[in-house]
């Protein structure tokens, strides 16, 4: 069914073999969804669905989310913590990566909780049927309305600062909280996605925690059940997570000494994924093993009972489960400099290249066996010179109407999408066993004006 050259190109990101005892490859180590293959028409298939046929049915740009890959990642996280941690554990999906009804429902059906960072994400999670006791509300500037919604929903609030603490006291309702601390651990990742070092907008600094503990101990409505920290995103190193365990258990012990009923330790997420062949992230299993062993060791050294561990992966759950399909439009050749191949999307459906200088890999879905003989810039259609999806993409020669698929677009693509240049946001389909279901409807021009209002004095009288 699959020619050797096509399979080699398709699997070029799969050279990272899973480590025992994981029986299934770790999705975050793949460039493509686990179900990806090349069919007899030399087309890319995902979830048993022919990608060019999906484009004919649903148009482009199109997010294509593979249900099997997402579910596999959920199970690997949950099972790894069950395997390596002798105490209680809970994996919660960091839904800022992609929060919509279908994704929340899949995560919940796999036994995961949800990490939300706004009232909108919380409302979506509740509408998707996620149990409130499995929802954790994060954020460094929660509004009073968001706090009230969290309290009414009976979810846990991860408190970030003094103002939030005092606001919760003023609201005078019983609520379970975690405290977010800034552990002072740096990782080799992009400046904007490092959240564990001291110069960060998130969390209480270590020198604030003692007075915070003392304050909470005097508040009858605040049930402080644990601590939270997050050291960054797209991390390939394991050592920082070992360091984090020692820091958190130390503060966990100090909080308990103030009489706080500490029982949960949320160690965040941050495991990276493959965006190109050069990326080499640890497997989900390896990451969980390091976390669990680090917490157990730190608890033994500090003589602290094992807490309930909470992990909150986002990107590594959903990033590799999705690809984005585009239709090729015009081309521009600048002799001796560059060839631009233009697609019908760009920074409005994937703002990460222009925001973070993120690098992606692409394939041509309707000619998977063709030799990638050209180096081109895949350009978006927006009126912005920086709207380049991939600066140096290795592709076969393309023609208008060909289907370019950008890989690993599940995390922070739809969730950060915009209507820049008044472009409607794309549709998203969930694929599984040859079936495709729309989970996000494509916007139309009327949707763009849904919230516009035209004052009467600006309406021409004719």
Q: How distant is the alpha carbon of residue 393 from its chain centre?
A: 24
| Residues whose CB is less than 8 angstroms from the CB of residue 2 and which lie 6 or more positions away in sequence, other chains included | 10, 37, 38, 39
For 418-429, give one letter per residue: b (16+ CB within 10 A) or e: eebeebebbbbb
- With residue 451 as reference, give the H or E element that holds it: none
Catalytically active residues are: 383
The C-alpha atoms of residue 73 and residue 450 are separated, in whole angstroms, by 37
Other Cβ atoms less than 10 A from the Cβ of 86: the count is 8
The C-alpha atoms of residue 79 and residue 27 are separated, in whole angstroms, by 14
Beta strands of 172-231 (E only): which ranges? 175-180, 222-228
The C-alpha atoms of residue 55 and residue 64 are separated, in whole angstroms, by 10
**Integer Rg of the chain from CA:** 23
Torsion (CA) 79, 84, 88, 91 in degrees, nearest 10: -40
- The residues with which 326 forms a beta bridge, in sequence order, are 404
| Helix axes 119-127 and 101-109, enclosed angle (nearest 10) | 60
The C-alpha atoms of residue 268 and residue 249 are separated, in whole angstroms, by 14
């Amino acid at each position: 069914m699959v020619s050797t050259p096509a399979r080699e190109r398709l699997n070029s990101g799969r050279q990272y073999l899973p480590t025992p005892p994981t029986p299934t490859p770790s999705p975050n180590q793949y460039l493509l969804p686990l179900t990806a293959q090349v069919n007899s028409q030399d087309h890319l298939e995902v979830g048993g669905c022919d990608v060019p046929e999906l484009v004919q049915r649903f148009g482009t740009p199109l997010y294509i989310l593979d249900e099997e890959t997402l579910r596999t990642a959920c199970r690997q996280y949950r099972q790894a913590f069950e395997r390596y941690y002798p105490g209680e554990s809970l994996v919660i999906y960091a839904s800022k990566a992609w929060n919509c009804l279908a994704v929340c429902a899949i995560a919940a059906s796999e036994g995961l909780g949800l990490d939300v960072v706004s009232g909108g994400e919380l409302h979506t999670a509740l509408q998707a049927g996620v149990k409130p006791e499995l929802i954790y509300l994060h954020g460094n500037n929660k509004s009073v309305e968001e706090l009230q919604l969290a309290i009414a929903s009976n979810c846990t609030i991860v408190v970030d600062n003094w103002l939030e603490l005092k606001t919760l006291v003023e609201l005078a309702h019983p609520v379970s909280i975690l405290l977010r601390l800034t552990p002072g651990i740096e990782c080799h990742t992009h400046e904007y996605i490092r959240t564990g070092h001291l110069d960060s907008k998130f969390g209480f600094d270590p020198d604030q925690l003692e007075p915070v503990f003392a304050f909470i101990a005097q508040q009858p409505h605040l049930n402080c059940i644990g601590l939270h920290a997050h050291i960054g995103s797209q991390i390939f190193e394991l050592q920082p997570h070992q360091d984090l365990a020692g820091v958190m258990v130390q503060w966990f012990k100090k909080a308990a000494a103030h009489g706080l009923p500490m029982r949960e330790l949320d160690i965040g997420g941050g495991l990276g994924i493959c965006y190109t062949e050069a990326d080499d992230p640890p497997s989900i299993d390896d990451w969980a093993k390091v976390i669990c062993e680090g917490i157990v060791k730190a608890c033994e050294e500090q003589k602290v009972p094992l807490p309930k561990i909470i992990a909150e992966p986002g990107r590594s759950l959903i990033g590799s489960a999705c690809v984005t399909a585009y239709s090729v439009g015009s081309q521009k050749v600048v002799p001796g400099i560059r060839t631009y191949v233009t697609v019908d999307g760009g920074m409005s459906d994937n703002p990460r290249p222009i925001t973070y200088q993120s690098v992606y890999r692409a394939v041509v879905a309707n000619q998977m066996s063709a030799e990638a003989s050209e180096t081109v810039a895949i350009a978006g259609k927006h009126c912005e010179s920086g709207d380049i999806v991939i600066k140096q993409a290795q592709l076969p020669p393309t023609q208008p109407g060909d289907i370019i698929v950008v890989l690993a677009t599940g995390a922070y693509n739809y969730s950060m999408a915009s209507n820049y240049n008044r472009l409607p946001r794309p549709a998203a389909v969930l694929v599984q066993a040859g079936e495709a279901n729309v989970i996000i409807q494509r916007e139309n021009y009327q949707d763009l004006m849904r919230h516009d209002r035209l004052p009467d004095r600006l309406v021409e009288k004719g």
